[in-house]
Amino acid sequence: MEKINRRSFLKTTGAAAAGAALVAGGCAPRAKENGNVTSAAKDDSVLDTGQMELRTNGGNGDRVSLLGYGCMRFTMKKDKDGKDVVDQENANALIDYALAHGVNYYDTSPVYLQGQSEDVTGIALSRHPRSSYFLATKLSNFSNASHEASMKMYNDSFRALRTDYIDYYLLHALGRGGLELFDGRFVSNGMMDFLQKEREKGKIRQLGLSFHGNKDQFDQLLTLHDKYHWDFVQIQMNYYDWLHADGVRNVNAEYLYDELDKREIPIVIMEPLQGGRLASVAEGVARMLKERDPLASAASWAFRFVGSYPRVLTALSGMVYMEHLKDNLKTFMDFVPLSEEEKQFLSVDIADVMANYPTVNCNDCNYCMPCPYGVDIPGIFKHYNKCINEGTYAKDRAQEGYRKLRRAYLVSYDRAVESLRQAEHCITCNQCMIHCPQSIAIPRELHRIEAYVEKLRRNEL
């Protein structure tokens, strides 16, 4: 970790070294009587005076902001023809503010935002000096891995991003399908040979991969490190998945981190908030966090968890609104890591409680979309999880306030998801499951939610 001003240094060497948290108000740091870690409360002034935490990439010396910008969730609007397009002005404003406050890593893909992300990101960033930011994009050749299609995708990225080099280039979503799928997407079509030559020429400065899969698949990909030399690896890591990944099609982040750390491979983190689930937690979890620190937000706990591991180069966050960006900046500016005890509190105590909530492990990544039958998969899961987390989930008739909760769920469901896109229209074609990085049995979960909704409508709970 690199602290880049004196104030940050004093924080980490003084009483606040045990931990800090993002807060809403302007209170001074205060120590807890029970021996728990202090909270470094930060008001808006840190946005003017603080310094972004930078991590050094040992492979090439890049000084990368610990907060990275995931460019997959910008706001959409309708154009004059009624088509959904990204709000470019909003994206420009967010990226301008992020750059001005030290965020210098921007992650995109040809498939994000219905194929618009690279172009939108390129427009926003090209208004600034190229040396002021690092660009990361991916070879997302899922649907067509031919040499011609892969080369077109590669070359199109340069045009869309308005650049003649890419800092961090990823082989997108490796793991599922093992080495056989890896060979089909990148080896037999000649792309690995080509990309290595591009790295030698400097068109690609760092070559890595993003991983979604199980332990055996991860181990297989690491055996290729000696042959291809992975400059960096992007993994899903957060305090829930640290020890609570399902182990069947996903693997605990603790294992992923340790294996990469042993090989001194820089790590980029995706889903530090698990698609927002760790920012909007259930009431019981929120109480546990507030008992520890009344001033800290749930999101700040999650961000500080991933940022407290030194092999982490940057943690990506898809910031859609300015208030989200500012909140995240407060956590990562003048950053203070968690103590070992706080890490365990999150990854064991809090995660154990969360594991007992009947939510769907959806990260709202939209990889499952569009559904060929029009089902709004992430919208259905988001509404369902929100009701559970907020305690507005009708369980049975014996529940206090059941009638009010029953009606509230049905009304809010119809408002959140239009009727033609609700779960009842899922025909179990399973096309969505191929692309889900969380390995969710999507049709099964949709039918479970639909059965619950039908019982509510018939008042049969």
**DSSP state, 78?**
E
pLDDT band (50, 70, 90) for residue 248:
low
CA dist 349 and 354 (Å) reads 9
Residue 132 CB neighbours (<10 A): 10
For residue range 191-230, what is the model confidence (pLDDT) as tens digits? 999 999 999 999 999 999 999 999 999 999 999 999 999 9
Name the nearest CA neighbour of 230 among 199, 270, 251: 199
| Rounded distance between C-alpha atoms, residue 304 and residue 239, angstroms | 10
Lowest mean pLDDT among 2-11, 83-92, 273-282, 381-390: 2-11
Return the structure tokens found at 289.
Answer: 């966090």
Is residue 70 very low, low, confident or very high in pLDDT (cuts 50, 70, 90)? very high
Chain CA centroid to CA 250, Å: 15
Confidence of residue 9 (pLDDT cuts 50, 70, 90): very low
8 A C-beta contact, residue 47 and residue 60: no
Sign of CA dihedral 391, 326, 7, 239: positive
C-alpha–C-alpha distance, residues 297 and 299, integer Å? 5
Task: Say what the pLDDT of residue 363 is.
Answer: 73
Q: Is 370 within 8 Å of 69 (Cβ atoms)?
A: no
- Write out the two tokens for 183: 């060979």
Among residues 282, 240, 285, 278, which one has the least CA distance to residue 384?
A: 282
Written in H, E and C, the secondary structure of 383-421 is HHHHHHHCCCCCCCCCCCCHHHHHHHHHHHHHHHCCHHH
Token duo for residue 275: 């698609």
Q: Which of 447, 454, 438, 452 is nearest to 388 (CA)?
A: 452
Q: Where are the domains of the chain?
A: 45-355, 377-457
Element (H, E) at 181: helix 178-182
Residue in the structure block whose two tokens are 């011609």: 148
CB atoms within 10 A of CB 331: 29
Task: Kindly give, in sequence order, each residue whose CB lies less than 8 Å from that of residue 81, ignoring residues fewer than 6 positions away.
Answer: none
pLDDT over threshold 60, residue 39: no
More confident call, 206 vs 8: 206
pLDDT level of residue 247 (50, 70, 90 thresholds): low
% of the chain surpassing 70 pLDDT? 91
Tokens linked to 50 = 């603080």
Confidence of residue 436 (pLDDT cuts 50, 70, 90): confident
Mean pLDDT of 84-100: 97
Are the C-beta atoms of residues 153 and 140 closer than 8 Å to each other? Answer: yes
Poorest-confidence range of 68-77, 109-118, 351-360, 369-378? Answer: 351-360
* Residue 178 CB-density burial (10 A; 0-12 exposed, 13-18 middle, 19+ buried): middle
Placement of tokens 């919208």 in the chain: 379
Token pair for 137:
């994009």
Q: What is the mean pLDDT of the chain?
A: 88
* Residue 375 and residue 426 in contact, taking contact as beta carbons nearer than 8 Å: yes
Residues in contact with 34: Cβ distance below 8 Å, sequence separation at least 6, in sequence order: none
pLDDT at 282: 85
Q: Look at strands 76-78 and 84-86 and give their pairing.
A: antiparallel
On the 0-12 / 13-18 / 19+ scale of CB atoms within 10 A, 187 is middle
What is the pLDDT confidence band of residue 323, given thresholds at 50, 70 and 90?
very high
> What's the pLDDT at 384?
86
Given a contact cutoff of 8 angstroms between Cβ atoms, the answer to whether 426 and 446 are in contact is yes
Closest-CA residue to 446 (of 347, 369, 360, 367): 360
- CATH superfamily placement of domain 45-355: NADP-dependent oxidoreductase domain (3.20.20.100)
Percent of the chain predicted with pLDDT > 90: 63
Residue 281: which of 394, 379, 385 has the closest Cα?
385
CA-wise closest residue to 239 among 365, 355, 386, 323: 355
Confidence of residue 26 (pLDDT cuts 50, 70, 90): very low
Backbone angles phi, psi at 120, to 5 degrees: -65, -45
Q: Between β-strands 63-65 and 54-56, what pairing exists: parallel, antiparallel or unpaired?
A: antiparallel
Is the pLDDT confidence value at 6 over 80? no
Task: Report if pTM > 0.85.
Answer: no
Within 13 Å of residue 37, how many CA atoms lie on the same side as its CB?
A: 25
- Closest CA relative to residue 377, chosen from 328, 307, 327, 434: 434
What pLDDT does 5 receive? Answer: 39
- pLDDT computed for residue 75 by the predictor: 94
Q: Is the pLDDT of residue 393 over 90?
A: no
Distances (CA, A) of 203 to 113, 131, 163, 199: 25, 15, 10, 6
Cis peptide before 110 (omega within 30 of 0): no
